[in-house]
């Protein structure tokens, strides 16, 4: 009986963390990305709309960029400001990166 309880609790924990990891918008906020990226207006960085346009149909490329494996295509001249931010994303799990990429592409 005790073992059964433990399994149930573990199962719940996995489900909860899975649901959280899939929330790209929350991740985007918690990593501080919103400080430079607004939904529709260009501020320090390009707007999410601009990023979504550049990466339309290229989710894989966007994930590569966040892993530090692909060159910038939106505003390469300002990549110096974005580059250090990749330290926050390149060690995130594939699942988290996919969720965040989807969040950005949905603008």
Minimum Å gap between C-beta 20 and ligand HEC is 17
Q: Among residues 65 and 98, whose Cβ is nearest to ligand HEC?
A: 65
Q: How far apart are CA 74 and CA 52, in angstroms?
A: 10
Residue numbers 24-63 binding ligand HEC by CB under 6 A:
31-33, 35-37, 44-46, 51, 62
Q: Which one of residues 38, 67, 88, 107 is an interface residue with ligand HEC (CB under 6 A)? A: 88
Q: How far apart are CA 82 and CA 70, in angstroms?
A: 13
């Amino acid at each position: 009986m005790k073992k059964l309880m433990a399994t149930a609790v573990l199962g719940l924990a996995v489900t909860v963390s899975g649901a959280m990891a899939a929330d790209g918008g929350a991740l985007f906020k918690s990593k501080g990305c919103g400080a430079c990226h607004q939904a529709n207006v260009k501020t320090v960085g390009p707007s999410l709309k601009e990023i979504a346009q550049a990466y339309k149909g290229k989710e894989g490329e966007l994930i590569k960029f966040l892993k530090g494996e692909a060159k910038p295509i939106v505003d390469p001249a300002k990549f110096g400001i974005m580059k250090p931010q990749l330290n926050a994303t390149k060690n995130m799990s594939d699942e988290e990166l996919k969720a965040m990429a989807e969040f950005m592409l949905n603008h």
